Amino acid sequence: MGKNEVAVTEDKKFNLVTMAESGLSEAIAEEMDGLGSIPYDKVKIPSGGGLAFEIPGETEDDPQTATELVGVILFHHPLNGYWEEEFNGSNDKPNCSSLDGKTGVISETGEIRDCANCEFNKFGTAKNGSGKACKNMHRIYFLQEDNPVPLIVTLPPTSIKSLRDYISKRILLRGMRCYSAVTKITLKKDKNAAGIAYSKAVFTFVKKLDADQVSAAEGMAKEMKKIQTFVDIDDSDYDAPEEPKTDNDGFMAVPDNAIEEELPFN
């Protein structure tokens, strides 16, 4: 087990620590006055089928890795990013971005764009000729055990279906909200029809929080919603130079003779 991994068993209570309970909210308000908002660490999902997340370490040159993340999904929302140039690893901000997946803002001019009708948000506009030029991502604020500051996990387009299935089948149908449960996120290697490997996030229900924890997590979820528009999008949110090709519904095209058990979304 990597040094950033957290083991959670059914008989062990998850130690949920919120900013309010730890006194961090008050400290942030005082210490960060005039310095802007607190920077949230972003977890990178690797490209090329890698099975380990990359998490910022004590310094920029000392990232940590983990094969699983265990914690609480406090809040999640769609976001879009359009980069005119190819990914180059320089953490550049997109030329146009949307922090709600609905309304985009062009960085150079401040022009507002309707994502639903934007030409770059249509299939066939990507440089590979199949996907979208604008990347439809999904951001998760993820609270780990014993840590009052959530991580930000940004899902690439190919992992969004996994999150949707998990929330609909494992959370909502059990009468819960995401902040009511401990969730484990791992990575699975898949390949598209062209044989290109990619990493897909896999979500597993671990356990339900107790009533007091749910109340505390709900309060922090509301706080995360308030800061949604203050966390910028950059290249670190979309570290995927080789995106699998998708069809018009957002799913990968597969050949007619494909074996069902080998399809990536089964």
pLDDT of res. 201 = 95
CA distances from 99 to 75, 77, 114, 176 (A): 13, 8, 12, 25
Tokens (6 digits) for 126:
């990507």
**pLDDT > 70 fraction of the chain, expressed in percent and rounded:** 82
Residue 263 has pLDDT above 50, yes or no: no
pLDDT of res. 235 = 67
What amino acid is encoded at 242 in this protein? E
Residue 251 has pLDDT above 60, yes or no: no
Indicate the length of the chain as a whole number.
266
What amino acid is encoded at 90 in this protein? S
Q: Average of pLDDT values for 178-202?
A: 91
Q: Average of pLDDT values for 12-39?
A: 81
pLDDT of res. 229 = 67
Tokens (6 digits) for 116:
């639903």
Q: Average of pLDDT values for 79-93?
A: 76
pLDDT of res. 90 = 57
Residue 243 has pLDDT above 70, yes or no: no
Least confident range from 36-45, 118-127, 140-149, 228-237: namely 228-237
pTM higher than the cut 0.75: yes
pLDDT band at 244 (very low <50, low <70, confident <90, very high): very low
What pLDDT digit, counting tens, does each position of 47-60 carry?
888 999 999 887 77
Q: Phi/psi of residue 143, each to 5°?
A: -100, 115
pLDDT band at 154 (very low <50, low <70, confident <90, very high): very high
Least confident range from 31-45, 109-123, 170-184, 186-200: namely 31-45
Query: Is 161 or 2 the better-scoring residue by pLDDT?
Result: 161
pLDDT of res. 254 = 42
Q: What angle do CA 249, 255, 258 make, to 5 degrees?
A: 110
CA distance 56 to 62: 7
Residue 86 has pLDDT above 80, yes or no: no
Least confident range from 22-31, 172-181, 207-216: namely 22-31
Query: Is 239 or 30 the better-scoring residue by pLDDT?
Result: 30
pLDDT band at 246 (very low <50, low <70, confident <90, very high): very low
Query: Is 260 or 208 the better-scoring residue by pLDDT?
Result: 208
Tokens (6 digits) for 164:
């949707």
pLDDT of res. 10 = 52
pLDDT of res. 88 = 56
